[in-house]
């Protein structure tokens, strides 16, 4: 038995009819470009058994007004470092506890995976890791607005409990968009 096919014009109307019955289709949001600034910070050579505190260990100065949307800082790999890192527009570390909090962007502490030295010149004990978050993202539509020409600093406070002198470098990634 031979079946008749509907005309081609009728077949092309079927998808249009189905689409109109489904209702309006929401357009996907347009992806906006995201900019990245990497602040390379260092304490320089940090002698074993010492604390190396460096305000303004690294700096980035945006040329235009920006909104910071996210921050990421890598953990240190050395087993006997305690790292306290602060990103802010304040010129010195440990001023983010002030009542207004202005200029404070991000703070991270990292210790470990922690071999602890009991003041000896050999051997140590494994203590495990103590990591606070190394990433921060703000909710959609929110960011920390920084005026053009305002320095953004990475401050470092590092305790070197290893048995060797170390050059401690720390990178912080700042993801931002320009603001009108």
> For position 112, what pLDDT does the model report?
59
Instruction: Tell me if 5 is assigned to some domain.
Output: no
Task: Give me the residues paired with residue 87 across strands.
Answer: 106, 154
> Number of structural domains, the chain?
1
> For position 4, what pLDDT does the model report?
60
Q: What does the longest C-alpha to C-alpha distance in the chain come to? A: 96
Question: Can you give the CATH number for the domain in which 138 is found?
Answer: 2.60.120
Instruction: Tell me if 21 is assigned to some domain.
Output: no
Instruction: Tell me if 3 is assigned to some domain.
Output: no
Q: Which helix (H) or strand (E) holds 9?
A: helix 8-22
Domain span including residue 50: 32-178
pLDDT tens string, the chain, 180 residues long: the values are: 555 655 555 445 555 445 555 566 677 778 888 999 999 999 999 998 899 999 999 999 999 999 999 999 876 665 567 888 999 999 999 888 677 778 899 988 876 555 555 555 555 555 555 555 688 899 998 999 999 999 999 999 998 887 788 888 889 999 999 998
Half-sphere exposure at residue 173, Cβ-oriented, CA atoms within 13 angstroms: 13
Instruction: Tell me if 16 is assigned to some domain.
Output: no
> For position 67, what pLDDT does the model report?
96
């Amino acid at each position: 038995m031979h079946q008749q096919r509907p005309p081609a014009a009728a077949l092309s109307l079927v998808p249009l009819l189905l689409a109109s019955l489904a209702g309006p289709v929401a357009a996907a949001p347009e992806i906006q470009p995201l900019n990245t600034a990497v602040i390379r910070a260092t304490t320089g050579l940090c002698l074993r058994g010492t604390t190396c505190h460096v305000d303004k260990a690294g700096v980035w100065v945006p040329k235009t007004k920006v909104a910071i949307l996210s921050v990421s800082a890598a953990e240190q790999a050395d087993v006997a470092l305690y790292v306290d890192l602060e990103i802010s527009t304040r010129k010195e570390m440990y001023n983010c506890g002030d009542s207004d909090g202005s200029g404070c962007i991000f703070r991270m502490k990292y210790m470990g995976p922690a071999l602890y030295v009991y003041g000896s010149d050999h051997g140590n004990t494994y203590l495990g890791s103590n990591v606070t978050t190394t990433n921060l993202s703000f909710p959609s539509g929110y960011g920390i607005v920084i005026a053009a020409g305002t320095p953004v600093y990475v401050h470092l406070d590092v305790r070197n409990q290893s048995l060797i002198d170390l050059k401690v470098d720390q990178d912080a990634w700042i993801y931002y968009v320009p603001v009108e």
